[in-house]
Amino acid sequence: MGLANTASKVSKLTDLAEKLYKRVESMREQIHEMRDTVSETNERVADLEDDLAEQRALLEAIAAENAVDAEAVLADLDDEDLDDADA
């Protein structure tokens, strides 16, 4: 009986180890996919920030060409946002 009991315990441990290995491999795959997603998102955010900077520069150039104080306009918009938030 001693060997049968030991063999049963070893078999259970082997099954558990296989399940854990599969779970770890699945998690490793998910982490790899998440890293790829984060990397792609970082690239998109960087591209959007670059586009935004270009658009801001264009708007500031257009504002300067038309004698519009861009900073004053932005300050007015900020004041309006604060007023709307208080309401």
Domain ranges of the chain: 2-86
Instruction: Tell me the chain's radius of gyration from C-alpha atoms.
Output: 30
In total, the chain counts a number of residues equal to 87
Contact status, residue 32 vs residue 40, Cβ threshold 8 Å:
no
pLDDT tens digit at each of 87 positions of the chain:
577 888 899 999 999 999 999 999 999 999 999 999 999 999 999 999 999 999 999 999 999 999 988 888 888 888 877 777 776
pLDDT of residue 84: 72
In the chain, alpha helices (H): 2-65, 70-86
